[in-house]
């Protein structure tokens, strides 16, 4: 029964979405608001029924039979509901309807809300139709099996259980930002008020996307064989492109909100982000490319998605082309000003996204050309990996970071470059010293020096800006600093730490494979590892071989236990690495296989990942900063202060007037 | 600053940046791209003809996996049913790298014609095969005569 109920609820959600779009785009008012809310409730309930089917292991539901198993632990039964194509599409629909419902609760009545709900209803309709008619998760089996096929064991992991929901909050959140942009265009009202009301949604979606990508990276890091925390895999790039463009968007929204400028560019970015999010979904689902992520691939589904992508993207761009010329240009500003710095920020981020796009789609286009016989097969089959992205993106990110402290300290409209540079000299000095130290310690690589230089420059420069904003008057004033400043500073410092961590980790990580017999000792980077013994361990749905390895460093010892797990149902095995955290980085140990020629020895992989926590911690701070900015906005709206106080908060004294 | 000069400045900055980015992309695409080759391609020209990094796809030949240098190195051969390529890899490969299954190895040939892989890829799904591995097998079986390989159920 429960699956049929879910099916019915999904149809009710579809009906509500149709009504929401029709009424939202025409009459507006209370009716589309109620329908959007209903659509959200129906979708959540539909998802809930699917989760119940998974928890109860109802193998008469085809999806459960294919993806679950009696031996699977409860939490992964729940996560299994979205660990497959159909279930994840339902999750997508639910998040999409959920944004509409959230808007119906949080947004003030008016034409912006009406049309936004209308457009969001259209998108929701499209995705629910795709779900129900092309990939229904509620299909029954006439002859249910006694037990399920089991989930892919690699996905049995907490980080990857939460990775899709967070990612979808980001991806799909871009759909609502897009709806707001479309609504603004339809109403002919892209102004400061529009930007003020759009920015919280963009911030939420962007911060969620950051969390989703970071969770994926963490999982890829400790799941051996996924090439480390970032792989430049097409699917990773597919999530990175909307991230870059929406990062540009949340910055250009500031200019539109505070100064009324860059309106058409901001709207264009809203449209572009959504198109890139759809493109990402298309790349993941269609199997058009070789990717470590390409699961549940199906060319027909890909075609349907491509069709939908073309319609939505084409309509959005047409609307933009039609309406954008009517948008007013903002007030003038000097190149050296906060506006100027934010324009540069947008240029760097947009160009970086374009470079990622080129690196991602070129192999696909060449392959298609090769298959059509237009170019030779030898030239058609290429792969573009880390060297390309490192070469093209590092300069963009470096310049982005170079301008960051200036952007934070520069006043609106017009700034003096000379005093600003003089004021930031200490940050530059610290950065140069840090870069030299890093190079001396980690070998003389150009990326390493570059990364540490700009990273430290940003961390110190942003820190100086916070100190300047606090001003003289001691610690008490630190707490009174507005939340928007905290949000910005934390995100920017996170970015600096991330870049330091990423370059140091990439440039100086070491790894080695040691064949060890029980009792033997390996040494690496000042650590000793004694392979003591192996034991067999039974897990809930796997059996494991566990190695006990005695680690010694600076006179302290500890036993760590890497495992290889064999999952009987899926007939696959996974490698569970053991990680020993230290202040400077991770010691990372994986148990390999028996040496074929010498069965008493086991192959043990030992790696040292310096500053890896800075990578994930930096990404986490970026997300925290984004969420703080959002909270600041929501709080300010409910407090509704007089415009004068807001102006003083947003324009701190320029450093030119407060030297040192 | 007047409106027109403001626009000129914006266009100038964007033009400089875009030119730089295009230059970077061109350099990057020329130097940092690995071409895909099947074992038959390599057999046709000989490994010494390939000086750049490349990717080789196919199946891991059954019975070919060995450990060398006391277990530090993993060696195996990639086959497309017609020809084979010897591969060596330092480290522990992903869990799905199994004899008889599809694989893609990325690296350069050493002087004795062994592909020194710095990356070995497999899929995380037992039913799925890397597209490049699949293509290599299909091409070899299309080219001439019988192949030992059957199409996978993807």
**How far is residue A272's CA from residue A122's CA, in Å, rounded to a whole number?**
18
What is the distance of C-alpha B38 from the center of its chain? 9
Structure tokens at A30: 């209370």
Going from the C-alpha of A295 to that of each of A80, A91, A290, A307, B102, the distances in angstroms are 14, 17, 11, 20, 15
Interchain pair B13, A574: CB under 8 A: no
Instruction: Please state the rounded mean pLDDT for residues B50-57.
Output: 84
Given CB atoms, is A570 within the 8 Å cutoff of chain B? yes
Integer Cα distance of A361 and A382 in angstroms: 11
pLDDT in tens, B64-102: 888 888 888 899 999 988 899 999 998 888 777 888 888
Question: Do B91 and A354 count as a contact with CB atoms less than 8 A apart?
Answer: no
Choose among A369, A575, A606: nearest CA to B122.
A575
Is the CB of A513 less than 8 angstroms away from the CB of B92?
A: yes
Chain B residue numbers with beta carbons less than 8 Å from the beta carbon of A395 are 20, 24
Q: How many CB atoms lie within 10 A of CB A514?
A: 22
Give the pLDDT band (50/70/90) at residue A52: very high
Mean pLDDT of chain A: 86
**What pLDDT is recorded for position B153?**
40
Q: Identify the residue with better confidence: A416 or A346.
A: A346
Q: A268 falls in which pLDDT band (50, 70, 90)?
A: very high
Cα-based angle A302, A152, A158 (whole degrees, multiple of 5): 105
At A655 the pLDDT is 43
The pLDDT of residue B69: 83
Per-residue pLDDT tens digits for A431-485: 999 999 999 887 778 888 989 999 999 999 999 999 888 877 767 777 778 888 9
Nearest C-alpha neighbor of A455 from the set A410, A500, A494: A500
- For the record, the structure tokens of A329 come out as 């240009």
Per-residue pLDDT at A267 exceeds 90 = yes
Interface with chain A: mutation pick from B67, B76, B135, B153, highest number of A CBs within 10 Å: B67
- Asked if B71 lies within 8 A of A513 by C-beta distance, the reply is yes
Best residue of A83, A219, A225, A330 to probe chain B, by most B CBs closer than 10 Å: A225
Q: Which residues of A touch B13 (CB under 8 A)?
A: 335, 343-344, 347
Q: How many other CB atoms are found less than 10 A from the CB of residue B52?
A: 11
- Over the stretch A496-515, which tens digit does the pLDDT of each residue have? 999 999 999 988 888 888 99
Q: What CA dihedral angle connects A513, A517, A519 and A520, to 10 degrees?
A: -40
Which residues of chain B neighbour A225 with C-beta distances below 8 Å?
92-97, 122
Closest-CA residue to A564 (of A582, A589, A543): A543
Lowest-confidence region among A306-320, A338-352, A506-520, A545-559: A306-320
Q: What is the structure's pLDDT at A291?
A: 54
Closest CA to B33 of B135, B111, B106: B106
Rounded to 10 degrees, the C-alpha dihedral A397/A398/A402/A405 comes to: 50
From the list B6, B17, B135, the residue facing A332 with the nearest CB is B6
List strand residue ranges (DSSP E) for A290-446, in order.
Answer: 382-384
DSSP A572-627: EEEEE-EEEE-SSEEEEEEEEEEETTEEEEEEEEEEEEETHHHHHHHHHHHHHHHH
Q: Is the dihedral of CA A307, A313, A316, A318 positive or negative?
A: negative
CB pairs under 8 A between A and B: 153
Kindly state the average pLDDT of the residues A219-228.
77
List CB contacts of A433: < 8 A, sequence separation 6 or more. none
Count of C-beta atoms within a 10 Å radius of residue B12: 11
- Determine how many CB atoms are found less than 10 A away from the CB of residue B15: 10
d(CA A513, CA A586): 16
pLDDT at A638 over 80: no
Give the span between the Cα atoms of A123 and A142, in whole angstroms. 33
pLDDT for A202 beyond 90: yes
More confident site: A326 or A565? A565
Say whether pLDDT at A244 is over 90.
yes
pLDDT bracket for residue B152 (50, 70, 90): very low
Question: B67 and A515: CB-CB below 8 Å?
Answer: yes
SS3 A87: helix
* DSSP label of A656: T
- Dihedral (CA of B50, B56, B61, B64) sign: positive
The end-to-end CA distance of chain B, in Å, is 62
Of residues A462 and A74, more confidence is placed in A462
On chain B, the residues whose CB falls within 8 A of the CB of A297 are 128, 154
Q: Quote the CA–CA distance of A112 and A640 in Å, as a whole number.
A: 20
Q: In this predicted structure, which of A143-157, A282-296, B6-20 has the lowest mean pLDDT?
A: A282-296
| Mean of pLDDT values over A55-78 | 85
Give me the phi and psi of A569, to 5 degrees please: -65, -50
Does the pLDDT at position B146 exceed 50?
no
**Lowest-confidence pick of A297-311, A341-355, A517-531, B72-86:** A297-311
Q: Is A48 helix (H, G, I), strand (E, B) or coil?
A: helix
Alpha-carbon span A89 to A189, nearest angstrom: 33
Lowest mean pLDDT of A273-282, A380-389, A585-594, B142-151, name the range: B142-151
Cross-chain Cβ contact A575/B132 below 8 Å = no
Which residue matches tokens 């990326």? A447
Alpha carbon dihedral A446, A451, A456, A462, in 10-degree steps, equals 140
Q: Nearest residue on chain B to A565, judged by CA atoms?
A: B95
Per-residue pLDDT, A656 = 41
Interface membership of A365 toward B (CB under 8 Å): no
| Burial status of residue A648 (CB atoms within 10 A of its CB: 0-12, 13-18, 19 or more) | exposed
Residues in B touching A592 (Cβ below 8 Å):
92
Nearest of A462, A471, A501, A491 to residue A613 by alpha carbon: A501
- ipTM at complex level: 0.80
pLDDT in tens, A583-635: 889 999 999 888 888 888 999 999 999 999 999 999 999 999 999 999 988 77
User: Which stretch of A385-389, A394-398, A534-538 has the lowest confidence by average pLDDT?
Assistant: A385-389
pLDDT of residue A288: 62
Average the pLDDT over each of A642-646, B46-50, B146-150 and give the range with the smallest value. Answer: A642-646
- Where are the domains positioned within chain A? 1-151, 386-507+614-650, 510-612
Indicate if the pLDDT at residue A537 is higher than 80.
yes
Least confident of A386-395, B47-56, B81-90: B47-56
Take residue A283 and report the two structure tokens written for it: 């790349």
Q: How many CB atoms lie within 10 A of CB A653?
A: 12
pLDDT at A47: 96
> Which range has the top average pLDDT, A221-235, A246-260, A565-579?
A246-260
Torsional class of A585: left (φ above 0), alpha (ψ -120 to 50), beta (otherwise): left
pLDDT attached to residue B3: 60
Amino acid B12: pLDDT: 86
Q: Which of residues 258-297 of A touch B (CB under 8 A)?
A: 289-290, 292, 294-295, 297
- As a 3-state breakdown, chain B gives helix, strand, coil percent values, each rounded to 5, of 35, 30, 35
Answer whether residue A171 shows pLDDT above 60.
yes
What average pLDDT score do residues A645-655 get? 39
Q: Pick the range with the lowest mean pLDDT from A8-22, A281-295, A331-345, A375-389.
A: A281-295
A542, pLDDT greater than 60: yes
- Residue A630 pLDDT: 92
Among A residues 301-360, those touching chain B with beta carbons less than 8 Å apart:
329, 332-335, 343-344, 347-348, 351, 354-355, 358-359
**pLDDT digits over A359-380, tens only?**
988 888 887 888 777 877 767 7
Whole-number pLDDT of residue A441: 86
Q: Which residues of B68-102 are buried (b: 16+ CB within 10 A; e: fewer)?
A: eeebebbbbbbbbbbbbbbbbbebbbbbbbbeebb
- Does the pLDDT of residue A651 top 50, yes or no? no
3-class SS at A644? helix
List CB contacts of B148: < 8 A, sequence separation 6 or more.
Answer: B81
């Amino acid at each position: 029964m429960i699956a049929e109920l879910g099916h019915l609820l999904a149809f009710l959600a579809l009906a509500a979405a149709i009504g929401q779009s029709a009424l939202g785009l025409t009459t507006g008012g209370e009716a589309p608001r109620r329908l959007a809310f209903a659509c959200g409730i129906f979708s959540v309930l539909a998802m809930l029924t699917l989760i119940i089917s998974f928890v109860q292991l109802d193998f008469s539901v085809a999806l459960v039979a294919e993806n679950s198993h009696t031996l699977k632990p409860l939490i992964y039964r729940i996560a299994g509901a979205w660990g497959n194509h159909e279930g994840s599409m339902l999750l997508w629909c639910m998040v999409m309807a959920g944004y509409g419902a959230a808007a119906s609760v949080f947004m003030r009545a008016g034409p912006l809300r009406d049309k936004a709900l209308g457009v969001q209803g259209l998108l929701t309709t499209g995705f629910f139709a795709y779900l129900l008619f092309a990939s229904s998760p509620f299909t029954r089996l006439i002859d249910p099996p006694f037990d399920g096929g089991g989930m892919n064991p690699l996905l049995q992991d907490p980080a990857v259980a939460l990775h899709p929901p967070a990612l979808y909050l980001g991806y799909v959140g871009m759909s609502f930002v897009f709806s707001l942009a479309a609504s603004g265009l339809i109403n002919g009202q892209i102004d400061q008020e529009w930007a003020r009301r759009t920015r919280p949604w963009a911030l939420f979606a962007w911060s969620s996307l950051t969390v989703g990508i970071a969770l994926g990276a963490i999982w890829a890091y400790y799941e051996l064989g996924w090439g480390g925390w970032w792989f430049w895999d097409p699917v990773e790039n597919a999530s990175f492109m909307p991230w870059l463009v929406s990062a540009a968007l949340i910055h250009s929204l500031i200019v539109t909100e505070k100064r009324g400028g860059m309106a058409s560019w901001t709207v264009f970015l809203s449209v572009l982000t959504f198109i890139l999010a759809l493109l990402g979904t298309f790349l993941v689902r269609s199997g058009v490319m070789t990717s470590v992520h390409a699961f549940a691939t199906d060319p027909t589904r890909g075609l349907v998605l491509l069709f939908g992508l073309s319609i939505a993207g084409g309509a959005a761009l047409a609307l933009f082309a039609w309406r954008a010329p009517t948008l007013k240009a903002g007030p003038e500003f000097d190149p050296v000003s906060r506006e100027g710095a934010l324009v540069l920020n947008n240029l760097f981020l947009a160009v970086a996204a374009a470079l990622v796009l080129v690196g991602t789609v070129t192999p696909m286009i060449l392959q298609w050309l090769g298959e059509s016989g237009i170019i030779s097969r030898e030239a058609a089959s290429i792969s573009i990996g880390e060297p390309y992205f490192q070469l093209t993106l590092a300069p963009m990110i470096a310049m982005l970071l170079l301008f960051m402290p200036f952007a934070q300290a520069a006043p609106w409209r017009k700034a003096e470059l000379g005093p600003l540079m003089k004021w930031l000299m200490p940050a530059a000095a610290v950065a140069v010293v840090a870069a030299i130290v890093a190079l001396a310690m980690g070998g003389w690589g150009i990326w390493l020096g570059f990364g540490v230089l700009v990273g430290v420059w940003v961390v110190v420069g942003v820190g100086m800006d916070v100190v300047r904003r606090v001003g003289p008057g001691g610690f008490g004033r630190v707490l009174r600093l507005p939340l928007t400043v905290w949000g910005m500073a934390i995100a920017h410092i996170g970015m600096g730490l991330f870049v330091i961590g990423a370059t140091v980790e990439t440039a100086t990580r070491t790894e080695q494979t040691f064949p060890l017999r029980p009792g033997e000792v390996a040494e690496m980077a000042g650590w000793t590892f004694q392979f003591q013994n192996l034991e067999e361990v039974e897990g809930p749905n796997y059996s494991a071989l566990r190695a006990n390895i005695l680690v010694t460093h600076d006179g302290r010892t500890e036993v760590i236990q890497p495992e290889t797990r064999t999952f009987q149902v899926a007939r696959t095995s996974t490698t569970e690495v053991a990680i020993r955290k230290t202040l400077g980085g991770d010691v990372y140990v994986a148990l390999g296989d028996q040496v074929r020629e010498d069965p008493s020895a086991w192959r043990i992989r030992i790696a040292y990942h310096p500053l890896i926590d800075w990578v994930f911690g930096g990404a986490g701070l970026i997300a925290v900063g984004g969420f703080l900015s959002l909270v600041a906005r929501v709080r300010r709206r409910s407090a509704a202060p007089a415009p004068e106080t807001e102006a003083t908060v947003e324009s701190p004294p320029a450093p030119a007037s407060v030297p040192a | 600053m007047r409106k027109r000069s403001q626009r000129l400045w914006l266009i100038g900055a964007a033009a400089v940046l875009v030119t730089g980015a295009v230059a970077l992309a061109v350099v990057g695409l020329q130097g940092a791209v690995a071409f895909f080759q099947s074992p038959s391609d390599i057999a046709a020209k000989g490994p010494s003809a390939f000086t750049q990094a490349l990717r080789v796809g196919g199946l891991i030949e059954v019975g070919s996996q060995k450990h060398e240098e006391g277990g530090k190195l993993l060696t195996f051969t990639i086959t497309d049913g017609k020809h084979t390529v010897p591969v060596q890899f330092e480290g522990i490969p992903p869990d799905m790298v199994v004899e008889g299954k599809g694989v893609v190895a990325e690296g350069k040939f050493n002087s004795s014609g062994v592909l020194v892989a710095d990356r070995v890829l497999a899929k995380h799904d037992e039913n799925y095969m890397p597209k490049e591995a699949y293509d290599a097998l299909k091409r070899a079986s299309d080219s001439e005569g019988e192949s030992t390989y059957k199409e996978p159920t993807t």
